[in-house]
Structure 1
Amino acid sequence: MGLQSWVATSVAAAFLAFLGSAGAQTDTLKKIKDSGVVTVGVRDASGAMSFTTGPGQYTGFHVEICERIIADIKKATQLEKLEVKYQLVTPQNRIPLVQNGTVDIECGTTTNNAARQKDVAFAPTLYVEGVRVAVKSASGIKSTTQLAGKTVAATTGSTSVQLLRRLKSDATELTAKDNSEGFLLLENGRADAFVADGQILATLISKSKDPAQYKLLDQVLSTEPIAIMLPKGDAAFKKLVDQSVVSLAKRGDAARIYDKWFLKPIPPQNVIVGLPATEMTKAAWANPTDKPMEEYEAR
């Protein structure tokens, strides 16, 4: 049996297993089949992972991965038409919206960690991120040890806020409502540094008026698996999504989609982020897993 046929058969089997299971806490597949709609959580300014190109239009690495998953959901539910509804989420509301069923699958830039696994489930990771610090090139700042007495921005509800506090650098903390605002604080001088996922910072810098004015510090504050978020307690839906993600990794599609968004011009300005896949991201493609951040740090 060819790989594509195996994937389709496995996905269909997962759906049939779901239909035959009783007492499932969450019936995401049944909900999708009955409504003909799948609701996708997206971000509007999460670097090349998930961003908007206009009203109601979203794209990026994780959004495209989810489009592939949705194609498998459509096959499994045997729907002739499956409407995709985009729901904009923020760091503050993304977990509650998955928990209460407003969002079926969240495709932004959410870190899979042990605390969040108590509330939601995650698909296998296809992108391992390093949280870093952006500063202005002329600032003279070369290390986080030089942030004492400085003002440092981070996005509310992100893991970067906790990392900033752990630095204990006596820096003044300034929180932004989203990543765009965080970079704007750096851009207009209200903040001396902005802490966020490395790819978000690299994308924002590449899209700025003068990218040469900014740089990323070499120090990586935390290694974090960024993964697609799912409802907790829905084994059949997670199995289907997991199989879809694993097949994307094993076929090499994940790597090709990565290159499209991080090494080639992306819309709407056709800028190049210029971030080759790290060895940890390549390792995630070779052996897809939904293990939390804490297990990465323990390596």
Structure 2
Amino acid sequence: MLRLPGSHTAPNRRRLLGAAGLLALGLPSAWALPQGAGGGAAPLATPASPALAPSGSTRSETSRTLTRIRDTGVIVMGYRAASLPFSYLDGRLKPVGYSVELCERVIDAIREQLQLPDLEVKQIAVNSATRMPLVANGTLDLECGITTHTAERARSQSFSTTTYVAESRLLSRRSQMMRTVEDLRGLTVASTIGTTSLQYMHQLNVQKGLGFRILVGQDDQESFRLLQTGRAVAYAMDDVLLRSLIAQVRDPQEYYIAEQALSVEPYAIGLPAHDPQFKRLVDGVITSLYRSGEINAIYQRWFQSPIPPRNLNLQLPMGEAFKRVIAKPTDSSDPAAYR
């Protein structure tokens, strides 16, 4: 654990998407693909602009990621060990979850496009501190966890179409409820290393002169324990992750999630930088799930049904912001695009 001074400083996952997502050689021009990060329409892939050009081609639009996957027969996926329901290990220590399932659909697409039925999937565990460096240095092809797409992060890596929209909030005990960030004045709050919630809490502390201390956990479980053991009066993190954490304790009714949203957090799959053709393929798979409505069954499976290994059911309806993303896909990093 680190200490920051406050103001003192499954089901049918293997179903192939067929014509809908998997011609990174050229997605049909009739598709409505995501908006670009600047809010405009992202360029469409067409048969004339392949993501993986034929062997010997001199096209400049060759995807280096797909080329390497084809040449090595391996794709590398990053996962989180304990971030229910997005990315975590089940009872057999197999990575599962909402984000993992979306990545599996992408991998199926790549397997079909490259005609590599025996494509090897190498899985690497990541955490809040290691996930982005491993994408930036080329270790990971897909980061399938709970990463917020921000403009700052997009300088070192790329992001897919938005796959979920969360909001950062405060979790506290009902015996000492923290309803707003101003309630933290002079107290101690916890957050997790390498997260946007931690950055935002530090900014608010300085801007508002609240003088609270920030204790930094190495992962979400450690940060939550700081609240459980009384070392912090609140834990700042994305609301969906807070819900999943308190759903796993014996006394969830003892905890309170503040109604005040501190920030908007658009989640996305982390991708290698400077490979728009690979991003186009990934976006096409996700968008096809949105257009077909299949995303609703995937969402229900992980957010509104019992999930392994303990059959927890978060009973979390889909939020209005994510419904808007499904209706009009975007890869924007601007929080205002989701309000």
Question: Residue 7 of structure 1 aligns with which residue?
Answer: 20
Tell me the CA shift for residue 162 of structure 1.
1.3
Which has the higher Rg, Structure 1 or Structure 2? 2
Cα distance in 2 between the residues matched to 1:219 and 1:234: 38
Cα distance in 1 between the residues matched to 2:58 and 2:128: 33
Contact 1:109 1:226 in 2 (8 A): yes
Cα distance in 1 between the residues matched to 2:309 and 2:93: 15
Question: Residue 288 of structure 2 aligns with which residue?
Answer: 247
SS in structure 2 of the partner of residue 124 of structure 1: coil
Higher mean C-alpha displacement, 3-12 vs 278-287: 3-12
The structure 2 residue matched to 1:18, chosen from 37, 52, 61, is 52
Tell me the CA shift for residue 178 of structure 1.
0.5
**Letter aligned with residue 266 of structure 1:** I
The structure 2 residue matched to 1:142, chosen from 160, 176, 179, is 179
2:262 corresponds to 1:221: yes
Instruction: Note the alpha carbon deviations across 1:19-51, whole angstroms, 9 max, x for none.
Output: 246556961111111222111111112231111
2:97 corresponds to 1:65: no
2:237 corresponds to 1:196: yes
Higher mean C-alpha displacement, 59-68 vs 5-14: 5-14
Change (3 A) 1:90 1:8: closer
Instruction: Note the alpha carbon deviations across 1:112-145, whole angstroms, 9 max, x for none.
Output: 1111111111110121111111111111333222
SS in structure 1 of the partner of residue 247 of structure 2: helix
Question: Residue 227 of structure 2 aligns with which residue?
Answer: 186
Count of aligned pairs between the two proteins? 296
RMSD: 2.1
SS in structure 2 of the partner of residue 153 of structure 1: strand
SS in structure 2 of the partner of residue 109 of structure 1: strand
Question: Residue 44 of structure 2 aligns with which residue?
Answer: none
Cα distance in 2 between the residues matched to 1:177 and 1:100: 22
Gaps of 5+ in 1: none
Runs of 4+, deviation exceeding 6 Å: none
TM-score, with length taken from structure 1: 0.92
Contact 1:223 1:296 in 2 (8 A): no
SS in structure 2 of the partner of residue 51 of structure 1: strand
Question: Residue 76 of structure 2 aligns with which residue?
Answer: 39
Question: Residue 12 of structure 2 aligns with which residue?
Answer: none
Contact 1:40 1:86 in 2 (8 A): yes
Cα distance in 2 between the residues matched to 1:198 and 1:232: 28
Question: Residue 298 of structure 2 aligns with which residue?
Answer: 257
Question: Percent of counterpart pairs with the same letter?
Answer: 38
Tell me the CA shift for residue 18 of structure 1.
2.2
Contact 1:134 1:214 in 2 (8 A): yes
Contact 2:24 2:281 in 1 (8 A): yes
Within 5 A, what are the aligned runs for 1:138-177?
138-168=175-205, 169-177=210-218
Tell me the CA shift for residue 98 of structure 1.
0.8
SS in structure 2 of the partner of residue 13 of structure 1: coil
Instruction: Note the alpha carbon deviations across 1:50-102, whole angstroms, 9 max, x for none.
Output: 11225752111111111111111111111021221111112222122112211
TM-score, with length taken from structure 2: 0.82
Tell me the CA shift for residue 9 of structure 1.
5.7
Cα distance in 1 between the residues matched to 2:228 and 2:92: 25
Gaps of 5+ in 2: 1-15, 28-48
Cα distance in 2 between the residues matched to 1:134 and 1:126: 24
2:308 corresponds to 1:274: no
Contact 2:87 2:99 in 1 (8 A): yes
**Letter aligned with residue 116 of structure 1:** R
**Letter aligned with residue 303 of structure 2:** F
SS in structure 1 of the partner of residue 52 of structure 2: helix
Instruction: Note the alpha carbon deviations across 1:197-242, whole angstroms, 9 max, x for none.
Output: 1110000000112111112010100011100010011122111111
